[in-house]
Amino acid sequence: MSAPASVRLEEVTKRYPLLTRRGRLHSLKGALLGGELWRLNREEGGFEALKDVSFEVAPGETVGVIGPNGSGKSTLLKLVAGILRPSSGTVDVRGRVTALIELGAGFHPEISGRDNALVNGMMLGLSKAEVLRRLPGIVEFSGIGAFIDQPVKTYSSGMYVRLGFAVAVAVEPDVLVVDEILAVGDEAFAHRCLDRIAQLQRQGTAILLVSHDLGLVEQLADRALYLRGGSPVLLGTAGAVVARYRSDVASEESVGEAQVGTPRRWGNGDVTLDAVELVDRGGRPVRLLSSGEAAGIRLAYTAKAAKTDFVFGIAISREDGVHVFGTNTELDGWTSERLDGSGEVVVEFPALELAPGRYLVDAAVHSKAGLAYDYACEALAFTVAAPVGWPGSYAPRHAWVPRGPAMRPPAT
């Protein structure tokens, strides 16, 4: 985190003035003659949508913002996007910021998709030449084809948002602000959106993501911010913050039983797992992988007392509970000698050939006899993306070799 933050908020407060019956100014006469125009920017009182929020987003980092309705999530995004100004505090954003708040916002129905893409692209900060250069990519990504020259009023709602998304990500922003929009389009497009977001993450785009889809936040975000009534409740790793939010919601609903999806964990605590992370080839934590990519699962531990009897293990299962793979150090033939203090072990996969979908990881450290020091169920969730929606759990590299049938290979 030594690199300068892409987004930095310091004690940001946003106050909305309470509107009078006619709006913010009391009368036209007052505005023009009574000096209300002068006092306008020195409002006190009103409704505080956001109170003293401070956090940073590093380049390449994704921060999820969660919380109940009316907790100030969208206000926060609009402040970062520069649509709103803070009432106090500072919002610092480095580089080009793109807001995906409503896809296709402001498309003019009467003019063609091409012209709309041009206008929106330029509003997002590209020059005309840059938009024109990226236009073929936009058309391809959105899958709109020849419709690009039709007025957008003829588009289906799916085409509309696809074009909106394609334009917004074509900008290659330094900071991307996303509000609850990945739920649009069909499965295939949703996958492409996630792929594209993963690509932006790798390129170092700082992403701020608001969503009620907690699973998505866990998948995509490194850290999360939990807001309630405009105030920050918790800022931390996505898994921990989501768990806290879930338990808050659960206790509010006064449901006694454990919530589905709440991490279950047991053990005597002699050794604790401090972090369970999926890391990419470079060792950076990720939550989204392409099928067949190299990856590792990193377990960070702290031993309270020195141990000679210990086994580290992991198990991967599909979201629907189907077991996919599991192993531990004993099974793989390692002999445990000594465990003391803090450290980490990584299970490396040269190519994690999983079928596209969402996977959960259980991680554990226990004795050879099976006494759990720390056993964390669903300690990690990650998503595997693939160009094709292969069913099942295993997606080995493969090729079709027709010897007889006349077939054309897929266009690449």
Residues that bind another protein (CB under 8 A): 16, 22-25, 28, 31-32, 37-38, 40-41, 78, 81-85, 97, 99, 101-102, 105-106, 108, 110-111, 115, 118-120, 122-124, 127-128, 151
Cα distance between the two ends of the chain: 39
Nearer to another protein, 48 or 280 (CB): 48
Toward another protein, which CB reaches closer, 149 or 340? 149
Q: How far is CA 151 from CA 132, 134, 139, 169, in A?
A: 18, 20, 14, 22
**Nearer to another protein by C-beta: 128 or 264?**
128
| Pick 105 or 388: Cβ nearer another protein | 105
Rounded Cα distance, 355 and 392, in Å: 6
Nearer to another protein, 123 or 249 (CB): 123
* Least separation in angstroms between CB 90 and another protein: 15
Residue 355 sits at the vertex; the CA angle it makes with 203 and 412, to the nearest 5 degrees, is 65
φ, ψ (nearest 5 deg) of residue 238: -55, -45
Spatial CB neighbours of 351, under 8 Å, sequence gap ≥ 6: 292, 293, 294, 397
CB of 171 to another protein, least distance (A): 11
Nearer residue to another protein within complex by CB, 103 or 384 = 103
Q: Which is nearer to another protein, 111 or 345 (CB)?
A: 111
The owner of tokens 């917004």 is: 168
For residue 325, the tally of other CB atoms under 10 A from its CB is: 15
Nearer to another protein (CB atom), residue 106 or residue 396: 106
Report helix, strand or coil for 96.
coil
The one-letter code for the residue type at 174 is D
Q: In whole angstroms, how close is the CB of 96 to another protein at the nearest point?
A: 10
Shortest Cβ 34–another protein spacing (Å): 13
Residue 181 CB neighbours (<10 A): 19
Q: How far apart are CA 211 and CA 68, in angstroms?
A: 10
> Residues 134, 163: contact at Cβ < 8 Å?
no
Q: Is 60 helix (H, G, I), strand (E, B) or coil?
A: coil
Contact between residue 64 and residue 225 where contact means Cβ atoms under 8 Å apart: yes
What's the Rg (C-alpha) of the chain? 25
Give, as one character, the DSSP assignment of residue 354: B
User: Is 67 or 104 the residue whose CB approaches another protein more closely?
Assistant: 104
Min CB(24)–another protein separation in Å: 6
Provide the 10 A C-beta neighbour count for residue 155.
Answer: 21
CB of 386 to another protein, least distance (A): 32
- Reduced to 3 states (helix: H, G, I; strand: E, B; else coil), residue 353 is coil
> What is the closest distance, in whole angstroms, from the C-beta atom of residue 161 to another protein in the complex?
12
Structure tokens at 104: 């296709």
Minimum CB–partner distance for residue 68 and another protein (Å)? 22
- Closest distance of CB 100 from another protein, Å: 9
